[in-house]
Amino acid sequence: MKISTKSQYGLRAMAYLANVYEKEKICSLKVISEKEGISFDYLEKIISKLKKADLVKSKKGVLGGYFLARPPNKITIGEIIKTLEGTMAPVFCVAMEKEKKYTCPRFEKCLTKNVWKKIQEVLNSTLNSISLADLI
């Protein structure tokens, strides 16, 4: 399993916002882009997804920018990655099983499905146990 740059950059941007949460609170995308070395256009797309998921909010105007929708200790890494990646399943059949969109014809007799399910459970549990506050 590989985490995309979208999630890597999204997590870095969220960690940056968490780090300034108590001080400035609001930060422009330009500043985050420059400080984190992330393309402004790419960051804009990432932040848009995070905003739709209500993980960040924005304020318009000259002194506007983005800020965390909740305190850093109330936002988990799991929420961020799930927003940007979708499912965190290691294989397609396990991902689609939960969404009831796909049933593997071998699913009932598959000897390996429990391994993939266990990996998914451990990964989700770990990501959901770490908050942005833990990073800073």
Residues 9-26 have pLDDT tens digits of 999 999 999 999 988 789
The residue type at 33: S
Q: State the total domains in the chain.
A: 1
98 versus 5: which is more confidently predicted?
5
Q: What is the CATH number of the domain that holds 125?
A: 1.10.10.10
What's the pLDDT tens digit per position in 23-66?
878 999 999 999 999 999 999 999 999 999 999 999 998 888 99
Q: Is the model's pLDDT at 131 over the cut of 90?
A: yes
69-75: long-range pairs with CB below 8 Å, 24+: 71/21, 71/133, 72/18, 72/21, 72/131, 72/132, 72/133, 72/135, 72/136, 73/131, 73/132, 73/133, 74/131, 75/14, 75/18, 75/131, 75/132
pTM of the predicted model, to two decimals? 0.87
**What's the distance, CA 46 to chain centroid?**
9
Distance, in Å, from the CA atom of 7 to the CA atom of 87, rounded to the nearest integer, reads 12
Range of the domain at 87: 5-135
